[in-house]
Structure 1
Amino acid sequence: MIFGYQVDKDIKLKILEEREAEPLFKLVDNNRNYLAEFLPFVEHTKRVEDSKYFIHSALQQFIDGNGFHCGIWSNKELIGVIGLHYLDLVNKTTSIGYYLAEDFQKKGIMTKCTKALIRYVYEEYDIHRIEIRMSTKNKKSRDIPVRLGFTQEGILRNNERLQGEFSDSYVYSLLREEYDD
C-alpha cells in the first residue's frame, strides 16, 4: 500500500517522494486560508523547499519504521495528504492525520482514504489502537472518525496553537476488536 494503493477508480494513495515537493507546496499554497484554520504547519510552509523538507522528513520517518505520509491523488492531481504521525510498535498504537483540498471536500474522499489506511494498519502491523485528534472547531474532520466507528475519549485542553490562539482537541480511538471492515 505504501508505494501505491488504489482506494477507488479515481483515488490513489502513494507515499510522497521528494520530486513531488512542488505539487505539495501548490496544494498547501492554493488552500492556505482554508487549511490554516486547523493545521499549524501551514503558516510555516512558505516555499517549495519547506514542502521538500517535510517530504524528506516523512521519508526518513518511513525508513525508521516510525510511520509514513501518503499523497492522495485524484487522476494524477495531488489533492491531499494522509499518514501516520508515528508508529509505536511497543505499545501497539498509532495516530492518523489528514487534510484535503477545499474543492474536494464533501465527496467522501477522506472517509474512504482513512478507512483504507485503517485496513492497511490493522492488516500489516500488530497495532491495537488507532487515534485521531482534531480541533473541537473542526466539524468536517470530526465527522470522519464518527462515521468509521471511533469512540470519542475526551478533549485535550489548549493543546494546539492555531493561528496564534490555543485550541482544544477531540481525541478519538478505534481498538482492533472494534474494527469492522
Structure 2
Amino acid sequence: MFSIQVDEHTKLRRLNPSDQHELFRLMDSSREHLRRWLPWVDAVEAPEQSLTFIRNSLQQYADDDGFQAVIVYKGELAGIIGLHGVDWDHKSTSIGYWMGGPFCGKGLMTKACRQVVHHCFRTLELNRIEIRVAAGNESSAAIPRRLGFTYEGRIRAAEMLGKTYVDHDVYGLLPSESGIE
C-alpha cells in the first residue's frame, strides 16, 4: 500500500473506494475555489464520479503508471496529489494537485509535493519532474518555485477552462537541482 508520512499531522496515501463520499464532499464544497483553475470540476456531479476517479487511480497504480494520493490532514481528506502518468522510456513525469478550500494556506501542498518529488527521484529513480500551472494561478505556481523548480516557459492556449483557453507555465526539476541524487 502506498503511504508517505509528510509530518506529524499529514500523510499521503493511495485512494480507496471508501473515500468516494468524503472526496466528493471536499470537491463539492470547494467548487468555487477549484473551478477557476480546473476544467473538470463542473463535470463531477455525484459521488459515483469520484468513485470512477478512484477506480481509475487504482488501475493507474496497478499499471505502474504513477499514482493519485489523498492528502490526509488531522484525519480529514484535504486534497489530491499525483502523477499524470510516467514516461518510463525518458524517466519523466508531471505532478498535478488540488487542495480543498478549508485547507489552503497551511503549507500542506508544498510539503506534500516535496515528498512526491523525493519519492519520484529516490524510489522511482526518475530524471525529470514537471509541473504545469495555469498562467495567473499564483498560489499554485508558488509551489514549484518554493521547491526549486526552474521556470521553463509558457505553452500558449494549452487548456480549455470554461469557455476560454488558458496558457500554462511550465516548471521543471532534475535530481541534480533537487538536492536528491
- Unaligned residue ranges in structure 2 (runs of 5+): none
Aligned twin of 1:74: 73
Aligned twin of 2:48: 49
In the superposition, the TM-score normalised over structure 1's length comes to: 0.97
Q: Distance in 2 between matches of 1:59 and 1:52?
A: 10
Matched, 1:145 2:107: no
Contact kept? 1:89, 1:126, Cα under 8 Å: no
Task: Report Cα offsets for 1:54-90 as digits up to 9, x if no partner.
Answer: 1111111110011110000011110100001111111
What are the within-5 Å matches in structure 2 for residues 88-103 of structure 1? 88-103=87-102
Alignment-mate amino acid for residue 22 of structure 2: P
Aligned twin of 1:122: 121
What are the within-5 Å matches in structure 2 for residues 1-16 of structure 1? 3-16=2-15
Task: Report Cα offsets for 1:105-162 as digits up to 9, x if no partner.
Answer: 1111110000011001111112100000010110000000001000011101011111
Question: Percent of aligned pairs with the same residue?
Answer: 40
In the superposition, the TM-score normalised over structure 2's length comes to: 0.97
Q: Distance in 1 between matches of 2:13 and 2:124?
A: 18
The count of aligned residue pairs is 180
- Per the alignment, in what secondary structure is the counterpart of residue 43 of structure 1? helix
CA RMSD of aligned residues (A): 1.0
Alignment-mate amino acid for residue 78 of structure 2: I
Q: Distance in 2 between matches of 1:148 and 1:86?
A: 21
